[in-house]
Amino acid sequence: MSGPSNSILLVGESGVGKTHYGAQLLRRLMRVKGALRMNGAATNLEAFETALESLDEGRAAGHTARTVNVDSVWPVVDSGGRRADLIWPEYGGEQIKSVIENRRLPDAWQKRVDGADAWLLLVRLQQAIVGDDMFSKPLADLKGTSVENREVHQSDQARLVELLQMLLFSYGSAAKAQRIPRLGVLLTCWDEAATAQTPAEALGARLPLVSAFVRSNWRQPLIMGLSALERPLSPTTRDMDYASKGPEHFGYVIEPNGKKNTDLTLPIHHLLSAGS
């Protein structure tokens, strides 16, 4: 059996690991037996292929060039015949930041959001700065700190909630929103976290506001951990172990129950299974 293709939109701010996950996923989909495989020709793979070349040499890839300005669409299929199109949006332009800052969804994004059956949000916990407030420090300690610090920044948590809210709102304005897209949250660079918590617990502990927002809007959000590389790589110094074994022998996901699995396609497979 093969039903209509699901469309899964990947969303994440700059530096969360989208390109490296894509590169590792690409190799797995093409060569390694897992829950999913590539099912036809993917478009605009250049950025991911370039990153793979670096990984093959045991190096991290450089930042995605800003000139890359097209969606990359990957048709995938699982063993049950469920099909999906993974949409990696204009990953070079890193528009997510300006989308949030300007509170405006460009037309191209509106189309992507409307067309998606599931959203996969990539969040790098170690990158998110959580400011102190009355929940983390006694009020007396906080007193005075804001006087010198007059510049007001939106917190990382508020920014992510804002992003989700914008996606929900614009999906609603598509006037078909009986059912909002499924949500997956992938906590990237899990190797940096050094925690024995489950992904949902880690999200709740580190970004409680985001966690609460997700739980109040989705009954069964998929929350998983991801370490696409398994360990930090340098863009200049080669990791010989990596180069000799091959990048396909590195990387893992953390399932919702906390178990490690080397099949990097699982987050997408789970999102697909949940939809049928």
Ligand X SMILES: Nc1nc2c(ncn2[C@@H]2O[C@H](COP(=O)(O)OP(=O)(O)O)[C@@H](O)[C@H]2O)c(=O)[nH]1
Which residues contact ligand X by CB under 6 A? 12, 14-20, 60, 63-64, 189, 191-192, 227-229, 231-233
DSSP H or E run through 272? helix 266-274
- Asked if residue 8 lies in contact with residue 117, where contact means CB atoms within 8 angstroms, the answer is yes
Contact 15, 122 (CB under 8 A): no
CB of 153 to Mg ion, least distance (A): 23
Name which of 111, 86, 45 is nearest 272 in CA terms.
86
C-beta closer to ligand X: residue 52 or 210: 52
Smallest separation, CB 141 to Mg ion (Å): 38
Distance CA 38, CA 78 (A): 9
In the complex with ligand X, which residue's Cβ is closer, 9 or 233?
233
Quick one: what does residue 200 bind among Mg ion, ligand X, none, with the CB cut-off 5 to 8 Å set by partner type? Answer: none
CB of 15 to ligand X, least distance (A): 5
Pairing of the two strands 36-38 and 118-123: unpaired
Pick left, alpha or beta for residue 79 (phi over 0 → left; psi -120 to 50 → alpha; otherwise beta). alpha
CB closer to ligand X out of 218 and 242? 242
In eight-state DSSP terms, residue 60 is -
Judged by beta carbon distances under 5 to 8 A according to partner kind, the member of ligand X, Mg ion, none in contact with residue 27 is: none
Question: Between residues 120 and 189, which has the closer beta carbon with respect to ligand X?
Answer: 189
> Would you tell me which residues interact with Mg ion (CB under 5 A)?
18-19, 64, 91
Q: In this complex, which beta carbon is closest to ligand X, that of residue 77 or of residue 252?
A: 252
Q: Choosing among Mg ion, ligand X, none, which partner's interface includes residue 266 (Cβ < 5 to 8 Å by kind)?
A: none
Residue 64 to residue 188: CA distance in whole angstroms:
17
Shortest CB 226 distance to ligand X, Å: 7
Please report how the helices 156-172 and 208-217 are oriented relative to each other, as an axis angle in degrees rounded to 10: 20
Residue 228 interface partner, choices ligand X, Mg ion, none, CB cut-off 5-8 Å depending on type: ligand X
- Considering Cα of 37, then 231, then 155, then 199, what sign does the dihedral take? positive
Which does residue 221 touch among ligand X, Mg ion, none (CB within 5 to 8 A, set by kind)?
A: none
Structure token pair of residue 147? 């006087």
Adjacent-strand bridge partners of 6: 84
CB of 231 to ligand X, least distance (A): 6
Q: Which does 15 bind (CB under 5 to 8 A by kind): Mg ion, ligand X, none?
A: ligand X
